[in-house]
Amino acid sequence: MNTIVQEDFEILKGTLELRASIFDLLSDADLEYRLPGDNASIRTLCIQHGEVMRSYIDSFKHFKQDWHYRHAHTDLNLTDLRAWINNLDEELFTTLSGMSDTDIQTRIIDRGFPLPPRIQVQVLIQAALIFCGMITPYLRALQKPLPEKWVQWIG
């Protein structure tokens, strides 16, 4: 068991479980919702977040972050979005679990600037929380009841 698994998995899992809880609140129709003005739909925000997750997973595999990945389908329904995000989460945990402590302690991820893998995990947690913060006004506008954990973590 490496140091990321020992020291970072609890908060990472909690953050990703929080983020995944939105799929219990939404319907397929909700995915089309946009806040007034020039704002993305909920579906677009979810797909963009999945693309970010893909970038982080690959950064742990290749020690280089590439932001160019784009999902081939922009019309995913709720079931497909949930499955895709869940699969990304599983791949992330498998990838992180498979890293050696030597790689964790000595390798650097190039993301335009250098970051050790453990710091990259912390930045990923922040990216997931940012996504939750971005989606919160949409959930409130749709008058979705926010889970207590959401209120405690995000507000």
Please give the domain boundaries of the chain with CATH numbers for all domains. 3-153 (1.20.120.450)
- Band (pLDDT 50/70/90 cuts) for residue 46 is very high
Q: How far is residue 122 from each of residues 10, 12, 144, measured CA to CA in Å?
A: 12, 8, 29
- Band (pLDDT 50/70/90 cuts) for residue 63 is very high
- Band (pLDDT 50/70/90 cuts) for residue 107 is very high
User: Averaged over 12-37, what is the pLDDT?
Assistant: 96
Tokens of 54: 């893909």
Q: How crowded is residue 45: how many other Cβ atoms within 10 Å of its Cβ?
A: 18
Contact between 88 and 48 under an 8 Å Cβ cutoff? The reply is: no
Given this model, what pLDDT does residue 31 score?
A: 98
User: Averaged over 47-59, what is the pLDDT?
Assistant: 98
Q: Is 146 exposed, middle or buried (0-12, 13-18, 19+ CB in 10 A)?
A: middle
User: Averaged over 130-145, what is the pLDDT?
Assistant: 97
Given this model, what pLDDT does residue 155 score?
A: 85
Given this model, what pLDDT does residue 8 score?
A: 95
Mean pLDDT of the chain: 96
Regarding pTM above 0.85, the answer is yes
Q: Which of 50-72 are b and which e, b meaning 16 or more Cβ less than 10 Å from the residue's Cβ?
A: bebbbbbbbbbeebebeeeeeee
Q: Is 142 exposed, middle or buried (0-12, 13-18, 19+ CB in 10 A)?
A: middle
